[in-house]
Structure 1
Amino acid sequence: MTAEPITLDGPLTVSITRRVAPEDELLMQAWVHAGTSMAERFDGFLGAGWVRSGTENWHMLYRFDSRATLDAWERSPERQRWLRSAADLVEHRRTEYRTGIEGWFDEPASASVHEPAEGAPAAPPRWKQASVIWVAFFPTSLALAYLLTPLTEGWPVVLRVLATTLLATPWMTYVLLPFVTRLFGRWLARGRPVGPRG
């Protein structure tokens, strides 16, 4: 399926689903890191991230401040070489362009979706996503409360929360959430419909 391209200006988030064999996880992590390091050298780059769903699907996001800066990255020779370098590593499943800050998390104000012939599985239900996030969030919050209290006792509450979130966010994003997502991968995937084909 291919929707009409987005014409609104402003920040754009690109969400890409790719399938990778489980045994190629380390190669995939290195490839994603190389692409992010390259993209952040381009004007307008606002950030990137990824999360795994099950054992094979990787959901990647990158964000630019305008259609023009996004196009400059997507059409660049550097990106084309980077994509070709993984021709035998990844299978492209789905690309979605989202506008506005909601593109990181919620349903977008507008979107353009491009899918190859074989559709991608739908996302898990939100209650399952919330459950997995809680499984990562609770022990992280508990551990940081015990570890930081002796150091931050007497600090204003704003500074205590700032210190906690500065430590918790990268830990959860890059370590614990990917681990918990893999751990609960079969449960997250159970009962999910498959996206349209053809």
Structure 2
Amino acid sequence: MADPITVAIERRIDPARTAEATSWMQAGTDLATTFPGFLGSGWVRAGEESDLWYMLYRFRDIATLESWEQSSARDWWLQSGQAFAREERVERRTGIEGWFDAQGGALFEPRVATGPVPTPPSAPPRWKQAVAIWLGFFPTNALGTWLLGMIPGFAEIHLVARIAISTAIFTPIMVFFVLPWVTRILRPWLHR
């Protein structure tokens, strides 16, 4: 089963068109809810006087995300906001950092906040990510290399071909099994 993917978008909004932009952002959120694999979305403004707005959305997997992102409905919605909204930055949490997101982390709800708006937890420092990856990679690689070495004639295969074969086998094992398990076990330390 593929891991969910969260997309964070930072946009600059024309301050003179705040009411229109608010309706536009809500319309985008509402539109996304009609797509298969949609898990949630929301948006927040950086502040009352700021022209910086943030939008998050989450889909079940890359296929459902791409279905939304490549849809004519989304294209129409984006075009309808071109006069007052400019995309500044887009970040997909699909790679290594996505493994370190807190499970069950809150996404912004599409409603007006009555108090301070919670921010999603940030990824742990890169050195902690590196330690977690190594703790999963070393035993997987050691065991896998030992097992592959037991295959008659495998040691005689050219080095580059052996590496290609082993990484093709170990990468899905790491992504789907080992790293989710390691990050779940290390979560208290990773987010301390």
TM-score, length-normalised on structure 2?
0.50
Give CA deviations for 1:39-82 in whole Å, capped at 9, x if unaligned.
Answer: 10000000001111141100100000000000000000000011
Alignment check: 8 A CA contact 1:98 1:110 kept: no
In 2, the alpha carbon distance for the partners of 1:43 and 1:80 equals 17
Does the CA contact (< 8 Å) of 1:15 and 1:97 recur in 2?
yes
Number of matched pairs: 109
2:98 equivalent in structure 1:
108
User: 1:174: Cα distance to partner?
Assistant: 2.3
Q: Distance in 1 between matches of 2:99 and 2:113?
A: 31
Note the 1:12-91 alignment, pairs <5 A. 12-54=5-47, 55-91=50-86
**Alignment pair present for 1:176 and 2:166:** no
Contact 1:19/1:90 (<8 A) preserved: yes
Q: Which runs of 5+ in 1 are unaligned?
A: 1-7, 112-168, 182-198
Percent identity between matched residues is 40
Q: Distance in 2 between matches of 1:37 and 1:31?
A: 10
Q: Distance in 1 between matches of 2:24 and 2:100?
A: 29
TM-score if structure 1 supplies the norm length? Answer: 0.49
Q: Could you tell me how far apart the structure 2 residues matched to 1:99 and 1:53 are? A: 24
Letter in 2 for 1:65: R
- The whole-number CA distance in structure 1 between the counterparts of 2:3 and 2:84 is 33
Find the counterpart in structure 2 of residue 195 from structure 1.
none
Larger RCO: Structure 1 or Structure 2 (Cα < 8 Å, ≥ 6 residues apart)?
A: 1
> Equivalent of 2:93, from 91, 98, 102?
98
Runs of 4+ in 1 over 4 A off after TM superposition: none
Give the aligned partner of residue 187 of structure 1: none
Alpha-carbon distance in structure 2 between the residues aligned to 1:109 and 1:26: 37
Cα RMSD, aligned residues only: 3.0
Residues 84-129 of structure 1: per-residue CA shift (max 9 Å, x gap):
11111101100000149xx9xxx63389xxxxxxxxxxxxxxxxxx
Residues 151-170 of structure 1 aligned to structure 2 (within 5 Å):
none
